[in-house]
Structure 1
Amino acid sequence: MEDPHMHFLLIHGSWHGAWCWHKIVPRLQAEGHSAHAIDLPGRGRSPARSQLVSLKSMVGAALAAMPEDQTTTIVVHSRYGVLASQLAELAPERIARTIYLASFMLPNGKAVADYFREDRDSQLPPFVDINRLGLWDWLRPEAYRHVLYHDCRDEDNALAASLLCREPLRPAIGKLRLTDDRYGRVPRGYIRLSEDRAVSPFLQDRLLNETSCDRVETVQAGHSAYFSKPDQLTAAICRIAGG
């Protein structure tokens, strides 16, 4: 019989940190699971110069946060689907499942940058400034409420506005190196966000057409469903993880 107790590692997307999961962690714990969120290198308690932060260093940070005595279910948001995929390639035996939340679930040999500008319905690109010398990108504040948090409460908007940070650029331009024997053996699920203005439903469906998943859920929410629809999102995570 499958162990009803699962361990979840929650990985944030661009410009965010572990703080964005503050409504989801206690809800997963209330369901009888263990869960924690991490700050990826370059923010929070892991400050680093953007030039030094790579996809490899982010994968290493995520791997170090996973328990060795239990497999982990990865829940990953937005840009860092690429991190979760590369992590599955590195350590498939330690991952029970990867759940991509409106996330860049890309094929082998691709990078976030290959898809970002091709999202015809995304309202995000005009507001992203790139510093190629410093190797970071930044979302202009005028896009916060309109693009990321349009269906969120004022207090969620205020929290995010006080904590959003620059994002290291190198992980977005690095090409994935994935194999069927390793990455391919980790089960994948996907949660679509039907009102997402950042990673649009158009791009989410393209990603699902290019990479197969055995379980797909849809939550009627914008990009930051962990703020706007925490109960519905937690339920979708649990259905995919335990279904």
Structure 2
Amino acid sequence: MSQHFVLIHGAWHGGWCWDGVIRELENAGHTAVAPTLPGNNPDDDLASVTFADYLDAIAAVLEQQQEPVILVGHSSAGFLLQAVAPRAAKKIAHLVFHNAFILPNGASQLDMFLPEVAQILIDAAMTVATPHGSIASPHKNVPILEDLIRNALMKDDSTEVQNALLSRLVPQPFVLFNTKVNTNDFLALNIPRTVLFCKDDRSLPPGTFLKMAQSLGTYELIECPGGHETLFIAPKIIADALTKITINPTFHAIG
């Protein structure tokens, strides 16, 4: 049975990170779209982006779909799905959280990091490097943190592959990280949900992603090999996993 997917990227990325996954899904007879969120196009004005802009952009894409879709969020997009789903529930047949940050009500993504990692992001957002040293940042954007990408998100990947991803990343508006999110409305939704988890992800301490997923209630768990950036490095693994999702409103496996 053919399915239609809407794929949402995480911080520093763009819709391009799903290109390989889309090709593999199409080869398997499915369709998919992957928008780039406000602030993540290379020429966007990052200073003007708000958290509401992300939700508006995703909701607009969903409203354009003819039938309910499988909505997939990777990494930081997990809590964007939580926040936007109540606005567009009729357009969502299934929710997929792929190695995603899933927030309790009133929390921000910063709250889910180890304190030292959160401080790195805060410091990066508050200053900007100049030829004469660092100065206060007027826009509070987080630059591409190369050490974090290489040593956490892509710790087990080759330098060549790391370089390929780093060449595509863009600075990220800080509002994605520090906005407190209302997820209470999400809990009331009766939309089936799946957690797609790449088991070799080292971007957070072991068990953190699945611990966050407990707040989803009941869900289908699909595990596969790979790390945080498998969607970019080995897209067939992710596409194959997505095609295994149980599309059945009455089915939930206990996570």
TM-score, normalised relative to structure 2: 0.82
> Greater Rg, structure 1 or structure 2?
2
Q: Is the 8 A contact 2:197 2:224 kept in 1?
A: yes
Two-structure CA RMSD over aligned residues (Å): 2.5
CA change 1:221–1:181 in 2 (3 A) is closer
Aligned-partner residue type, residue 26 of structure 2: Q
Aligned-partner Cα distance in 1 for 2:55–2:10: 14
**Farther-moved stretch of structure 1 (134-143 vs 124-133):** 124-133
For 1:164, the equivalent position in structure 2 comes to 169
Aligned-partner Cα distance in 2 for 1:217–1:178: 23
TM-score, normalised relative to structure 1: 0.85
How far did 1:236 drift? Answer: 1.4
Aligned-partner Cα distance in 2 for 1:45–1:93: 32
Matched, 1:73 2:70: yes
Q: Is the 8 A contact 2:83 2:182 kept in 1?
A: yes
CA change 1:125–1:180 in 2 (3 A) is closer
How far did 1:45 drift? Answer: 6.3
How far did 1:36 drift? Answer: 1.4
For 1:104, the equivalent position in structure 2 comes to 101
* Structure 1 residues not aligned, in runs of 5+: none
CA change 1:183–1:63 in 2 (3 A) is farther
Aligned-partner Cα distance in 1 for 2:46–2:57: 15
- Equivalent residue runs for 1:36-185 within 5 Å: 36-44=33-41, 47-50=44-47, 52-66=48-62, 67-117=64-114, 128=121, 129-132=123-126, 133-152=138-157, 155-179=160-184, 184-185=189-190
Q: Is the 8 A contact 2:102 2:212 kept in 1?
A: yes
Q: Is the 8 A contact 2:198 2:226 kept in 1?
A: yes
Structure 2 SS opposite 1:39: coil
Q: Is the 8 A contact 1:10 1:76 kept in 2?
A: yes
Q: Is the 8 A contact 1:75 1:98 kept in 2?
A: yes
For 1:204, the equivalent position in structure 2 comes to 209
**Farther-moved stretch of structure 1 (59-68 vs 82-91):** 59-68
Q: Is the 8 A contact 2:85 2:186 kept in 1?
A: no
How far did 1:125 drift? Answer: 5.4
How far did 1:153 drift? Answer: 5.3
Structure 2 SS opposite 1:105: coil
Q: Is the 8 A contact 1:92 1:183 kept in 2?
A: no
* Structure 2 residues not aligned, in runs of 5+: 127-137, 249-255
Aligned-partner Cα distance in 2 for 1:200–1:229: 23
**Farther-moved stretch of structure 1 (150-159 vs 135-144):** 150-159
How far did 1:154 drift? Answer: 5.3
Aligned-partner Cα distance in 2 for 1:157–1:223: 12
How far did 1:164 drift? Answer: 1.1
**Farther-moved stretch of structure 1 (16-25 vs 184-193):** 184-193
Structure 1 SS opposite 2:237: helix
Percent identical residues: 26
CA change 1:91–1:230 in 2 (3 A) is same
CA change 1:225–1:186 in 2 (3 A) is same
Aligned-partner Cα distance in 2 for 1:195–1:125: 22
CA change 1:156–1:221 in 2 (3 A) is same
Aligned-partner residue type, residue 60 of structure 2: A
For 1:224, the equivalent position in structure 2 comes to 229
Aligned-partner residue type, residue 74 of structure 1: L
Aligned-partner Cα distance in 2 for 1:73–1:127: 34
CA change 1:197–1:44 in 2 (3 A) is same
For 1:18, the equivalent position in structure 2 comes to 15
Structure 1 SS opposite 2:217: coil
Aligned-partner residue type, residue 130 of structure 1: A
